[in-house]
Amino acid sequence: MDSDETPYLLPDGERVWVIKTPTAAELLPHMLERFRFGHLDPLIFGDTGEPEAVVAPFELWRALDTRVFDEEGFDTTYTILRARLADPTPSIPLEQVAAELDWDLNEPIDDSDLPK
């Protein structure tokens, strides 16, 4: 019997499960319910046993879409920082902010274009 799921090994060694397209179609209502409860796991599907498409929560897609077309991550960074400044809760450590923004605090900064 042919399985509806196929393991697929990504180049980085991570394994994802690829669902056959007809099965993915049947699972869409269940995925929507999962997303409504805050689950972020995507539904990966395709007809050949290889990932061809993904169903993900809308907010996750928006975040990814913003980052893809956001030169140097400025808009995303600006949005996160504005939200942090508007939040009345106590400050968080710089290391935590850097981790959220994918900044390496040990990476040298190229300031060659700044005035001396």
pLDDT in tens, the chain (116 residues): 467 899 999 888 889 999 999 999 999 999 999 999 988 889 999 999 999 999 999 988 887 777 666 666 667 777 777 777 787 777 777 788 888 888 888 888 777 777 77
Q: How many domains does the structure of the chain reveal?
A: 2
8 Å CB contact between 43 and 35:
no
Q: Are residues 53 and 74 in the same domain?
A: no
**In a domain? residue 106:** no
In a domain, residue 109? The reply is no
Residue 13 in domain: yes
Shared domain for 12 and 51, answered yes or no, is yes
Domain-located, residue 20: yes
pTM of the model: 0.57
94 in any annotated domain: yes
Q: Is 80 within 8 Å of 103 (Cβ atoms)? A: no
Residue-range definition of the domain harbouring residue 45? 5-57
* Main-chain phi, psi angles of 23, to 5 degrees: -70, -40
**In this structure, are 19 and 40 located in the same domain?**
yes
d(CA 52, CA 45): 6
Residues 21-45 as b/e (b if ≥16 CB within 10 A, e otherwise) read eeebeebeeebeeebeeeeeebbbb
Q: Give a yes or no: residue 107 inside a domain.
A: no
User: Residues 36, 78: one domain?
Assistant: no
* 81 plus 46 within the same structural domain: no
Instruction: Indicate whether 53 and 86 sit together in one domain.
Output: no
Decide if 114 is inside a domain. Answer: no
